[in-house]
Amino acid sequence: MDKKIAVLGAGAIGSSVGADLTDAKFDVTIIDQWPQHVETMKANGLHIRMTDMDLKIPVRVYHLCELASLNIEFDIVFLMVKSYDSRWMAELIKPYLKSDGVLVGLMNSLNDDFIASIIGRERTVGCVIELSAEIFTPGTVQRNTTRTGTWFAVGELDGSITPRLKEIQSILSHVAQVDLTENIYGAKWTKLTINSMTMGPFGLFGLRAAEALKLPGMLDISVEIGKEALAVGTALGYQIEPIFGLDEDDFAGSDEQVLKTAMKTLQNHTGPRSRTAPIQDRMKGRKSEMDFINGLVADKGKETGVPTPYNDAVTEIARQINKGQLPMDSSNFDLLKAKVASAG
């Protein structure tokens, strides 16, 4: 394949994808904003530590500031940044995307309409991701989900199954198990729901999932968070979609059963050593993207008239942590319960 591929954003997820696609002999250019990481990759390549593989590979990589002098146009851009960086990154890469090129956002939350407003709907493809990884040292990634244990779904925004969608599926199959979906918005909202149950509340406590779920009543709270998200999604017209490689039978039953099944599957895939993204963000001294997870559920709940006291509480505490007004600590569990109780 002679397609020119850009991996824009080389955090833990972007580095994992960039390394895998380079290893598969695609024409890959990695672009990132962390200077030390870029310089280390230039000198030593990428080192991806997986439970079943230790991948060390040279990569082609550039600083953001070098993009203007590259004189290159890309056929496919895989955008992997925090939700709050999606708009300006889309604007940045727009002049370097071919007129018939495509941008695929491999991110949490629902950012595709933002991206499409900049890039164009005809050049935007949605993606749901489940890839757990961490990066704290430039050039080195701890990837918690193996290639066979990583799951993506890709979908056109209009629900059609197109040749380019199948091509993207084929490319990303070197990174993960990749499904095609005719319901990308529903699939992304389903993933958002599971993230709101796990990434959101667990990120308040600084605890790994197994530790957080030992807190008395935490599972029940996670389920209530998920029920609110499902109700908001229904009000928005989204149809729940099996994710993580599960099928329709796995998603049969009550909302509570479905939510518990999906959450358990996610925890099994990511393993005991993984730390949710807000914890990693806090360790790096940067803000989390919970405004785009539980915060999005809360905002859309207000728009649709669906009460979301659990997501409201998670969002408020997460914002206080981002502002430095609260520590990320297990004591926030009592605060979360108190806020939910006061909301009735």
DSSP summary character for residue 26: -
Question: How far, in Å, CA of 154 to CA of 168, rounded?
Answer: 8
Q: Compare 284 and 9 and report the one with higher pLDDT.
A: 9
Specify the 3-state DSSP secondary structure of 49.
Answer: strand
DSSP 121: G
- β-sheet with 97-105: strand ranges across: 61-63, 27-32, 4-8, 74-79, 97-105, 124-130, 151-156, 177-180
d(CA 71, CA 96): 8
Q: What was the pLDDT predicted at 1?
A: 60
pLDDT in tens, 97-113: 999 999 999 999 999 99
Arithmetic mean of pLDDT, 30-53: 97
Q: What per-residue confidence (pLDDT) applies to 260?
A: 80
pLDDT number for residue 264:
80
The percent of residues in the chain predicted with pLDDT above 90, rounded, is 78
Q: What is the pTM of this model?
A: 0.93
End-to-end CA distance of the chain: 58
Please report the pLDDT score of residue 209 as a whole number. Answer: 83
> What is the set of domains in the chain, with CATH numbers?
4-182 (3.40.50.720), 187-342 (1.10.1040.10)
Q: What is the mean pLDDT of the segment spanning 130-152?
A: 95
pLDDT above 80 (res 267): no
For residue 137, list its beta bridge partners: 140
Among 17-26, 74-83, 115-124, 332-341, the least confident range: 332-341
Higher pLDDT, 57 or 267: 57
Report pLDDT for 273: 67
What pLDDT score was predicted for residue 272? 67
More confident residue, 280 or 9: 9
Calculate mean pLDDT across residues 285-300.
95
pLDDT at res. 164: 98
Q: What are phi and psi of 189, to 5 degrees?
A: -70, -35
Contact criterion met (CB below 8 Å) for 204 and 240:
no
**What is the pLDDT at residue 318?**
95
Looking at residue 252, what is its pLDDT? 64
Q: What is the pLDDT of residue 271?
A: 67
> How far, in Å, CA of 130 to CA of 191, rounded?
9
Nearest residue to 11 via CA among 130, 196, 143: 143
Q: Average the pLDDT over 181-208 and give the result.
A: 92
Mean pLDDT within 249-265: 75
**Residue 126 scores a pLDDT above 90:** yes
Output the pLDDT for position 253. Answer: 65
Q: At residue 51, does pLDDT exceed 80?
A: yes
